[in-house]
A and B are shown apart, each in its own frame.
Chain A
Amino acid sequence: LAKTTQPISMDSYEGQEVNITCSHNNIATNDYITWYQQFPSQGPRFIIQGYKTKVTNEVASLFIPADRKSSTLSLPRVSLSDTAVYYCLVITSGTYKYIFGTGTRLKVLA
């Protein structure tokens, strides 16, 4: 199972774009990359999932380079309500086991 590495914490200001990079050097061919967001006292919430290149939805973009050894979650124009912990996961083909790392604690400042 692929292990992920993320920065422990990041600070940003309201209105800025935030990019959180996750390293997953031993990702396998059929693995997917997924990001979750967690607020205090709540369960994680799905943000976005991708396999390669770029995926965009209404809240975020996910950039995955050709070698797929890393991925970057991009949050456009963050607000105070985006203060949360963000987890990068690699979903391994043939299993249903999510391996959560310790996540990146994002703090958005006014």
Chain B
Amino acid sequence: GENVEQHPSTLSVQEGDSAVIKCTYSDSASNYFPWYKQELGKRPQLIIDIRSNVGEKKDQRIAVTLNKTAKHFSLHITETQPEDSAVYFCAAIGFMDSNYQLIWGAGTKLIIKP
């Protein structure tokens, strides 16, 4: 079945710098890769997603890239701001036990230093 690994577990960057979080997946048939942001005590929010028929998607300061050959996808945040501090989760759709399931990474705590 699908397995998703996420790195790093904690990332500290200076305000204004860029942040990159990387995830690898195991099932080459996976075709949907969402990213979620969870602020302390709040719900996870879908911030961007990508399907396997494209290699990159951008939305203002955030972008996601997908390398199907290497089976990894990354979240890029540019010009980081204090409000970007949160835990970020990646996920990938896998086919397990005759059903599609979203398999989650363990999360990355992003700290933006002022």
- Binding between chains A and B: no
> Using a CB–CB distance below 8 Å, which chain A residues touch chain B?
none
Q: Which residues of B contact A (CB under 8 A)?
A: none
